[in-house]
Structure 1
Amino acid sequence: MDRRFRNLLFGSTAATLVLMLVGLYTAFVGAGLTCERRWPFCDGWLGLFPANWTSFVEWSHRLLAMLVGFALLATLYLVWREQDDRRVKWAVTAAVALLPSQIILGALTVTEFTAVITAAHFVTASLIILCLTAACAWAVETPSVETLRTLVIAAIALVPLHLVLDGSLVVMPLWALVGFYAVSFLLSCGLAAGALWAHAHGLGRTRSLLAVGSTVTWLDMLVARRKFGLDQALTDVGAIVVLLALLAVVWTLSKHSTVGGLSGVRAD
């Protein structure tokens, strides 16, 4: 695969993750509320410049979102113009197709800021990063079976640790919000990529274990929002529905992963 495209894909994915973390911080400090119902304007001079720190945070989030959006559009253009892998094409396309909904939800978090809207904004962002993760996983050479075994061992150790550090048993300071979610998304996305690679090796049980680990980690992030003071109105039943939906997405994506000459390898 072309190195230029791969670098753009990886860079866009990393920038999307940074954007999500900035968005979480923006929600935590309530920066969007400084703009009230004046979206896309805010509270500074002519509504075009930040008037204080919180509005600066909101404007920074919007500026970064615009730059990431352009980067993803460029990635979409290149993937259809220069790449042959249909899986990468459709994964990037799905991520970009979700952008309009994410933009609308982002505007609503400023004008309305209800618990349901903020939760939907978080879920949509998670789906975008999941699609980009799948594209990145398919854009690189499939790791060895030994590497996947190491990833499984790491998952067995790190997922329970993540459940402990989400605020349930250990009181986490609010300043740790961004760091917690940075590690959480890296863990969830890494396990999702591992599920795709495991399918490419024909490792059914390994794929299932990694997919479940990825989904449980994401669900814990959703639940942890309340513990960090970020209200969300998903009930326990709703959270389970989201959990099953994300698991189905990872499973479906992995089904489309080709074996790439390693179909005979089965280590589990």
Structure 2
Amino acid sequence: MSYENHSSDSSSASPFDRFDRFGFSHLLASTVVLVAATILLGVAAKATGSGLACDANWPLCDGGVLNLFPANFPSFFEWIHRVVAMVAGFFIIGTALAAWRTKAVDRSITYAVTLGLVLTPVQVTLGRETVLSYEMPILSLHFWTAVVIFALFVVSAILVWAHRLTTTHVTLALGVGAIAVPLHVVLSPLFIDSYTPVVQTAQYAAVLALLSAVSLAAIVGRRRYDSPLLSSLVAATPVLAVAVLFLGRRAVMQFAPALDALYALTALVLFATLLAGTVLSRRVVPAAGEALAP
């Protein structure tokens, strides 16, 4: 975990000063899970058309006391998405506050989660507009803002846990990424005629797994290996992963053969890079003193 060295009188320490490593790291991990759940529920809500449920009301719904609750299943789906998003929002706020008030947390992590906090009200506003306007530019901004928030907290979590992550974790992450790429392509309309809500949600689950895996490989791989070739490979994977995600979304929306081909080619390059990185990570000697986490 990335921490700064501080000395303070324990008698004057605030509750946040006593917020130990176990507490913050697990709070951060919980926030990542909740943000991921919010994204996947949002994808599912859009795919099922539930985003326009609740009689297009926001933040209210279409039934129960004061129209707070859902009146049917589509509304329930949208309502659950909003509830999980609200809980995730509270966790984001709590994580940012804990980062600022916990002296042991590295400032780079604090700034990352704070940026995630700043983007959260923007994301909430965009979520409101998806219900009231439901225009494609707003839907796209809503999705990409969620991805940025997710990435910020994933990177922060990796930095917090980096001291415990070894070369084995790097190899495993590269392997997971190598599996996630073809899964993302196979679940796309290039291979699936019926692009159902279940298929869409599964495809985006593969995306989140891919983004997490390449982030871990890039951050921890740089620390655990001295190999310039391996460092270059793992550094390229996050950029390629974002390109695959972007092109995959465009291919779904536009159904252009040239765009489909570019998406498939980029996915192939990413897959080859991850596969090469997986093999190389098992052969390259770890950096001195870095074979095991300190």
State the TM-score, normalizing by the size of structure 2.
Answer: 0.71
Aligned-residue offset at 1:97: 1.2
Q: Note the C-alpha offset of 1:94.
A: 1.4
Return the alpha-carbon distance in structure 1 between the equivalents of residues 194 and 289 of structure 2: 43
2:219 corresponds to which residue?
Answer: 196
Listed as ranges, the gaps of 5+ residues in structure 2 are 2-20, 267-285
Output the CA distance in 2 between the equivalents of 1:17 and 1:181. 10
2:229 matches 1:210:
no
Tell me the amino acid that sits aligned with residue 230 of structure 2.
Answer: T
- 1:150 positional shift: 5.1
* 2:184 aligned to which of 151, 162, 168: 162
Cα deviation, residue 157, structure 1: 5.5
Cα shift at 1:160:
4.4
**Cα distance change on mapping 1:58 and 1:154 into 2, 3 Å:** closer
Residues 65, 11 of structure 1: CA spacing in aligned structure 2 closer, same or farther, 3 A cutoff?
same
Q: Is the 8 A contact 1:167 1:224 kept in 2?
A: no
- Find the residue that maps to 2:53 and give its secondary structure: helix
Which of 76, 79, 89 is the equivalent residue of 2:110? 89
Q: Show the counterpart of 1:122.
A: 143
Which residue, out of 58, 76, 81, partners 1:61?
81
Taking the aligned partners of 2:156 and 2:182, their CA distance within structure 1 comes to 27
* Paired position in structure 2 for 1:17: 36
| 1:163 Cα offset (Å) | 3.0
Query: Letter of the aligned partner of 2:143 in structure 1?
Result: F
Alpha-carbon RMSD across the aligned residues, in angstroms, is 3.2
- When residues 200 and 39 of structure 1 are mapped into structure 2, their CA distance, relative to the original with a 3 A threshold, is same
| Alpha-carbon distance in structure 1 between the residues aligned to 2:56 and 2:96 | 32
- Per the alignment, residue 17 of structure 2 pairs with none
**Judging changes above 3 Å, is the alpha-carbon distance between structure 1 residues 150 and 69 closer, same or farther for their aligned structure 2 residues?**
closer
- 2:67 maps to a residue whose letter is G
How many residue pairs get matched?
A: 241
Q: How high is the sequence identity, in percent, across the aligned residues? A: 29
Residue in structure 1 matching 2:124, options 77, 99, 103 = 103
- Distance in 2 between the 1:196 and 1:13 partners? 17
State the one-letter code of the partner of 1:71. Answer: F
Matched, 1:3 2:2: no
Matched, 1:77 2:97: yes
For 2:75, the aligned partner's letter is S
Q: CA deviation at 1:159?
A: 2.8
**Mean CA deviation greater in 111-120 or 201-210:** 201-210
In structure 1, stretches of 5+ residues that fail to align are 244-261
Distance 1:10 1:151, change over 3 A: closer
In the alignment, structure 1 residue 187 sits paired with structure 2 residue 206: no
Partners of 1:138 and 1:84 lie apart in 2 by 10
Larger CA Rg, structure 1 vs 2: 2
Secondary structure (helix, strand or coil) at the match of 2:165 reads coil
Deviation at 1:3, TM superposition (A): 0.2
- Point out 4+ residue stretches in structure 1 off by more than 6 angstroms: 262-267
For residues 184 and 230 of structure 2, the distance between their equivalents in structure 1, rounded to whole angstroms, comes to 20
The one-letter code of the counterpart of 1:32 is G
Displacement after TM superposition at 1:55 (Å) = 1.0
Q: Give the counterpart of 1:50 among 57, 65, 70.
A: 70
